Amino acid sequence: MACRRARRIRTPSPAALARIGLCPLGCVEHATEVGLLDEAECERARVARDPAYDGRFFTGCRTTGIYCRPVCPVRPAHPRNVCFFPSAAAAEAAGFRPCLRCRPETAPFCPAWLGSRATVERAARLIADEGALDGDGATVEMLAARVGVGARHLARLFAKHLGATPSRVAKTARIQRAKRLLDVTDRPMTEIALLAGFRSLRRFNAVFTEVYDRSPTEIRRTRRPTRQVAQS
């Protein structure tokens, strides 16, 4: 039996971290605030697997190239090998791929935002729940108008509070929808691609493989047999 080719670990480069506001060491004090949490608080929550912090930040592990929820059941990595992100989109923008154990796509949406954060929350919910940036002709300008701000200001707010652009958040939302559908349904790939917000199966396969370093078909094959699959 042939051996399976080992997967290449894509460790984020300093340039990738810098693009989303993190220093090359991934220090939170040099980055966008992680949901008003400092590095020490994130570290305590990560080690304790505190469910109260689920969805409020994500942890990237430099040695594996994977990012996780604070409640991940996998043994916590050494503190020197981790960095924190305010959103799944920010972690993916830095080159990390989602954990298949804690499934970041199932993390709760963090509602504890005030002031300008409320604008970002509204826009992010429109992206995640309504696919506001998925359809033909959908633009950041149109999204910004729906939440009552200009496109440039919305981009600044997303960078400040989520560490990613609206387009990047939309890309992550599409992938997360697709991953949930792969996990709980037996729908054909073409249908999953369209339901998730992709305009073509080819684009869906390319983006999914970029994020997970595995194709959608490979991910479906690893689905646990005991998991109840919803009927289409």
Per annotation, catalytic residue among 3, 72, 83, 110: 72
Write down the residue that tokens 């570290």 correspond to: 43
Per annotation, catalytic residue among 3, 68, 83, 110: 68
Per annotation, catalytic residue among 42, 61, 83, 99: 99
DSSP string, the chain: -PPPPPPPP-PPPHHHHHHTT--TT--GGGSS-BTTB-HHHHHHHHHHT-GGGBTTBEEEETTTTEEE-TT--SPPPPGGGEEEESSHHHHHHTT-EE-TTT-GGGSPPP----THHHHHHHHHHHHHHH-TTTSTT--HHHHHHHTTS-HHHHHHHHHHHTSS-HHHHHHHHHHHHHHHHHHHB---HHHHHHHHT-S-HHHHHHHHHHHHSS-HHHHHHTS-TTSPPBP-
| Annotated catalytic residue 83 | no
3-state secondary structure 181-224: HHHHECCCHHHHHHHHCCCCHHHHHHHHHHHHCCCHHHHHHCCC
Residue at 159: amino acid letter: A
Per annotation, catalytic residue among 42, 61, 83, 102: 102
| Annotated catalytic residue 68 | yes
**Which residues are annotated as catalytic?**
68, 72, 99, 102
